[in-house]
Structure 1
Amino acid sequence: MFLMFSLNTVGSVLFSPSLSAGPSATAQKSTLTLDPPWSIVFKGESVTLTCSTSHPPGRRFTWYRNNKVFRSTEINSLKIKYAQENDAGRYQCQIFPGGPNWLGPLGMDPVGPCCNSPLALDVSLSDWLILQVPYYGVFEGDPLCLRCYGWKGARVSRIRYYRDGADVTPSHVNSELSIKQARTRDSGKYHCTGSMKTGIMLTKLFSTPVLRAAGSGDPIEGSSVTLSCVTQLNPQKLDTPLQRFFYKDSRALGEPRSSPDYHIPVAGLQDSGSYHCEVQTVTSSVWKQSPKLKIAVKRECLGQGCWGQVLKVPTYLGWKKTSWNLCRAEIRGAGKTLINSMVQNRASDSRRQEQQLESNQLCLHRAKRAQHVRSWENLTRVRDAGG
């Protein structure tokens, strides 16, 4: 996901109209420089301070921030890694004699006067775009470079530079505004505007919910049904409260609930339909919907009333007589049908009533045998049952 930002930042650059007379030839002060040469950086960036001097090696360097000693080094550079808020301030360095008898800045006289002119460093904590200006003073006739700089070095486009509110953007400009020879008229308060694309990786708060029905296959009429709206919270956000909504054919089923389950105590044919659930935060700032789940409640078939229905598993449907001498037991399931039939052949119609009684008993016997079918492999036995 990419987000477009149009951001402004303000920085000031003031120029002195006088030229520096230079340091004393007899007592040279140290010179403090900054790399990269900008007076403001983003939080997390690195900078290096260097205390330059003409004195021979074997010295120690004491570093001051806001007029307080905070570090001593044997080398003339100090690197600040991953700049933080407390790294902002005014920096100075002072040189002391080194060697094994070093007692610290309070126990030794410094070499030369103290100290360099303070060097100001600022750390931007929350901006996306900053105007970087040189850390050193700029004099008349010096070159001047300003940089409109994006967070983490992001590319900045449509840059405009302003001085005291007036647009001073040249016809061809990139991230830097360069003035070859600064004049007093170039003094003022500068700021820049620009747009940048920066990649923002958003982490899912919770997964897309899935609606599941307990058990396998379609529910039977009269049984209970439990629907579960399943989602997973991000491990870093396990304490986030969620609420769930259940729907049948796009109609809400009651109020939102914290429980992931919805119960139908006694399922009826009217409970058949298309179900889905929604999960959302209590503030409704994030919500997600599950795919739809079709529920078809089946009527359990027992006895003669179920003839002609097709079930998913081998199911005994009962038996009946279509005439005084024809007996049928039917088993259906998974689109298959097995019908047992037996025809009683009698020689004389005079015994028809007695034969009908015998036929009923035989049909009952065969029907009882058919009720024990549990798999399709046993169906041939039922075909031959009773005869």
Structure 2
Amino acid sequence: MRAGKLYLVILLTTVACFGDDTERPQAVLTQEPAWTQLFRSESVTLRCQVQGDYTGWRFTWYKVGRKVPIYQDYYSRIDGGRYTISSVTRHHSGKYTCKGERSGNPSYSKTSNALTLTVSVDPPKPALSQEPAGEIFEGDPVTLSCVLEGDWKYLFYKDWKGAPVYEKYSSSGTVAVYTISAAVSHSGEYRCITIRGSRYSQYSSAVNIQVSELFSTPTLTVKPGASVWEGEDVSLQCGAQIYKQGTQLQYRYSKDNEDLTGAGSQYSIPAAGLRDTGSYQCEVEAAGTGVKKRSESVWLSIRELFSTPTLTVKPSASVWEGEDVSLQCGAQIYKQGTQLQYRYSKDNEDLRGAGSQYSIPAAGLRDTGRYQCEVEAAGMGVKKRSDSVWLSIRERPQAVLTQEPAWTQLYETESVTLRCQVQGDYKEWRFTWYKDGRNDPVTQHYYSIIDGKYTISSATRDHSGEYTCKGERSSNPSYSKTSDALTLSVSADKPKFVLTQEPAGEIFEGDSVTLSCDGGSDGWRYLWFKDSEDTPVLQTAGRSITDDSYTITAAAVSDQGQYWCRGQRGDEPLSSQLSDKVILNITGEFINPSECSK
């Protein structure tokens, strides 16, 4: 009776806690990794979890067909909600379940659904296939397919050597594909193998790939040879043999690893120059395939016909105007029989002249400039220019001729000195005088003295003419420019001046009157005479002499008389003729009473 009451209490308590419709939580069993097929010695973990928010679960694992739970052993370990088999054997194959238990309510879960482990002794052998089958040429796409059920990492090997040529992990568990663009180097025996964890499958059967060349590696041929003279035409021939019918080849060329403009199986270098020396290659590509092949390098050497010319200036690159200058264009001939032609230029403008020497006689300032020469091998078109040479023509110092005294008109017996000076700071000049453009210099004679200057002590009409002078010295500049011409004009007749009166006509006592001596210039001074040609009148009070005039400020009857004038210059006492006379009449302002009584 008492036991029945206790059962009733427990039953009522259970109903009060869960109610009639409360469902126990579900245990869920999962596998890591979730491989459908396991192989001997692989590791697998079964994980048990109970749905819902209840905690504190302890888990028990069962293998279907056995009444007792699974306990950990040499091959397995139980750690909380995990049951790990570190090295599976075929005995681990079967269906597994799990269930959770706890101290509180609910005290246990529903048993999980069954999870099946299938353990095989060894992995199967993967299958390796090739697409397309048959003959393979360079550039063809080739696909190797390695097939094995399961989640595998696929490794592809060639000729059993070294590291795999390709690796791929496939989670699809079906196939791994290795695609190549075929090259001859891809020829060989291929196999694949799969790996999962530490477990390897067997190698697949071998697939043998033989890749045939589309075309041969090109060869580069140089004609007429790999060593030619400047100006010769050179052709590069790129040859390649086609093995697959229908293959179209494209050609490219390079020099010293830099691409050249040109196409076709031949590349031409007309009139080769030194700049064309270098290492050449050609590259051949099969159109549309991306297959390229390069030839071996070929060294092309261009030999000089002649050296680059040098321009030499003689006597030097800086000369005085009037000196002769020659430009010497020198070039060494390396190929026997080469004929050279020469051209010259100044400031990039061609000059008339030919031959290895260009002459500039009596160089002038206009010849200053930059000179070059160009040499050409006749009939070859090979031209070479020298470096520029600067020719400087220095202006000679100018001789300046002056005259003392600087009279424009000379008269016989007068004295004159010609003085020559050279502009600039050059010293120790010796001077030479020339007359009327003659080449022989003027020499001193009875009427002249040359002593650093040219003095004519007593001029004659023969001294008339144009004079020039030039300086000479022992060092450069050795001579000066010739001076401008200076003209001496010597007259045999002494000048005669004209005497005029101002005001003209009758002069009264007290009036001012001026006599002027007209017609003289160039340093003349004037002498005045009254009633006598022998003694000149002097300046006195009321009578002044200035330049070419004689002025009486207050005329008196005593000033009446005949007047003359005469010019004088230098040391000549009577340099000119006596002028015509002027009669000066002075009229008295008042009549003398004594005159009235008569």
Greater relative contact order, per chain length (Cα 8 Å cut-off, separation 6+):
1
TM-score (norm 2): 0.25
Bigger-Rg structure (1/2): 2
Could you tell me the TM-score, scaled by structure 1's length? 0.35
